[in-house]
Structure 1
Amino acid sequence: MLSRIGRFHITGELGRGTVGAVYIGHDPVIDRDVAIKIFNPKLTPQERRAHEQQLINEARAAGRLSHPHIVTIFEASSEGPETYIAMEFLRGRELSKLLDEGHKFELDDVASIIWKLSDALHYAHQQNVVHRDIKPANIFLVADHQPKLVDFGIARAPNRIAENLAGAEEPFTLFRNNLLGTPNYMSPEQATGREVDSRTDIYSLGAVMFEMLTGRKPFVSRDTDKLLHLIAYKAPDKPHEVDASIPIALSKIVMKAMSKQPERRYQSADEMTNEIKRYLIDGKRARRRLKMSMPVDEVEDGADQPIYARPSFLIGCIALAGAVAMVAWQVWHF
C-alpha cells in the first residue's frame, strides 16, 4: 500500500475495485483526514486515460460547489504516475447498502433526506453542473441521516474534459452508445440517448425516493435493453398503490418527478424542494392539531407537551392543594 501521495500521509484503505482504490489520508497542513481516490496501476494506457479524464471532470464539477449536502473536493493533482483526488472523508454508509439490507425509512426521514438532496441539486444546477448519475450508491448518509451527494465523475459542467468516454468500462455504469448513467435510475431521455438537462437529475432523484418509500426499484429487468425500454416508455407504479401506508402527497411528488416528459416534471429542483417542505410542514401542523384535540390522559408525556397538561404536574397540583387545605384547617382550629 502507498504510504504517501502529494502532501497526504496514507493511513488506511477504504475500498478497492477494478478501476482503483480509495484510501484514508491525513493532511498534515490542515490536520484533518481526507478520502483519496487513485487508479489501479494495472490499467491499460487507454483505460487510464479515460478514467483520469473522468476523475478530473469530477474535480472540476464538484470542486466548484460548496453545499452542506455535496461532498467537498479539496485537491486534484498528478504526481509522477499517480493521478488522485482528495475529498472530504465521510463517516457513514451509502444509501444503497442500507436499501440492500432492507432498511425501512420513516416517511418523514425519506422526505427530509430527499428535500436536502433536491436542495443540493438546485444549488449545483445554478452553477451549471448536472450530476447525471443520481443513485443510492452516490448518496452517502452520515450522522442523523444527513445526506451527502458524491461522485460527479460523469457530471456535465463548464470546461468538461470527458464528454464521451466510449470504450471505458465501469461496474453498473453505462458508457456505450453515448449513455451515461446507471440504468435503474436513469431518466427516459438518458435511456433513449437524447440530450439531457437538469431535469434528468430530478427524475433520478424521484426514482431514488420511490425505492426509499416502497423498498423496491421502479423498474427491474436482467436484460439491459428491456430495462431501458421500460424506463423510456412505461409509467412506474404509484408508490401509494404499492404500499397503502405511503401518503398520497408523497406519492404525487414521486410521480411528478418521474414524469416521462421532462416538461411535465418539476422544472427545477427548487420546486421539488418546496413541495416536500410543504408536506413536512403540513404534517407537523396536523400532528399538533391532533395532539391538542386529544384528552389529557391520552397525550403522551413528552418534552413537547405543555407542562400544565402532563399527568405528573396535575397530580402534584392536587397534592399541593390538599396540603394547603390541611394547613389552613389546622390554623383555623388552633
Structure 2
Amino acid sequence: MASITLDHLAHAYRPNPQGPQDYALKEINHVWRQGGAYALLGPSGCGKTTLLNIISGLVIPTNGRILFDGRDVTHLPTEARNIAQVFQFPVVYDTMTVRQNLAFPLKNRGVPREDIDRRVEEIAGRLDMSAVLDRKAQNLTADAKQKISLGRGLVRSDVAAILFDEPLTVIDPHLKWQLRSSLKELHRSLDLTMIYVTHDQTEALTFADTVVVMHDGAVVQTGTPEELFVRPAHTFVGHFIGSPGMNVLPASVEGRTAHVGGAGGVAIQLARGYSALPAGARIELGVRPEFAQLAPAGAGVPVVVKRIDDLGRTRIARIEIAGHPASALVPEGVHLNGDQAGLMLDPQQIHIYADGALVAGQGGA
C-alpha cells in the first residue's frame, strides 16, 4: 500500500519534444493518498493509459519523477514496484484451474498454504466464482476469465497499488454493475490504493472516490463525482460527464447578465457578477440540463422545442436557445402547445467559462 506522488511528470513518445503539443502526457503534479480509489477518465488518446503505464513502470517518463511513499521509483522496472495490474483483456493460465490461477501470485511469494487457501476462497467469493474454483480456465467464458484476472490482481494484500486498465471491456453489460460493486466493496475492506482507467463515466463515477478527468494529454479537473457534476472546472468536463452533458452556449456577459445570441438573442440572469473577464477570450455559459426545466411559453427564457425524448423516468427536450442547440428536463405535468416554450434556469447552477476554463464570479452563493 502506498501514496503515489507525480512530480512534474510528463511524457513524449517522439524524441526532442519542443513544446506542449509534442507531449502525449502534459505536466502533472499530484499526490494520490494511500488507500484511495482513483479513476483516470477520458476519451481514447487523452493520455490516461500513458499515465497508468508510467505508474506501473512499463513507460519511463520523459520528464519528472514518480514516488511511492516518498521513494523514487521512476526508473525501476515493474517487478520492483510491488504493484498488480489488470489489463483490458484476460491474462490467465488456461491449463490451470481457477483456484491455481488465483493462488499463483501468492505461491510465487512463498505464502503459507493455509493463508493461500483462505485468501483464494475470500476473493473467489467476492467475485462470485466459488462454484468454478476447480474448473480449468480454458473451459470458461471470456467474462469468467476476466474475473480470474481481476482476482489475481486483488489476491495479494501487500501490493503498493492495483492498476486497472479498462478491465470490464469484455464483461457482459448485465455483469458490469455487479463487478463494479464488488470492486468497491473490496477496496473498502482491503484499504488498497486502486487506480482505474476507463472512458466510461458510469464506471468511473461508481468506482472512484476521486476522478481525474483527462483531455488532450492534460488533467483538466480532479475531484469527487459530485464536484465534477455540480461545478465542472472546464467545459470539456461538463460535456463529458452527464447524459446528456452540460449545455455550453456562446455568450457575452455584463455584470450579472449573460446575453446569448447577440443583440437579437436572450438575456439570462446570473447569481454572480463577472466584471473582469479576460479580454479577447471565448466566453461561454454552461448549465446542466438537470438545472434547466421546460415551461409553457411566456415563462423564463424563450426557446424553440425541436423534439422530446421519453427516457422512461424522465423526458429530455432538445431545444434551441437563440438558435443554439441545448437540452432541458421536461417536468411531469408540463404540456406544450406548438414548438414555442419557456426555460426556467437555476441561476446558482449557471457557470461562466473563458476559453474553456471556469471563471469565479463575485458575490452570490
**TM bucket by the smaller chain?**
under 0.3
TM-score by length of 2: 0.24
- Higher Cα Rg: structure 1 or 2? 1
Greater share of residues in helix: 1
Greater share of residues in strand: 2
TM-score by length of 1: 0.26
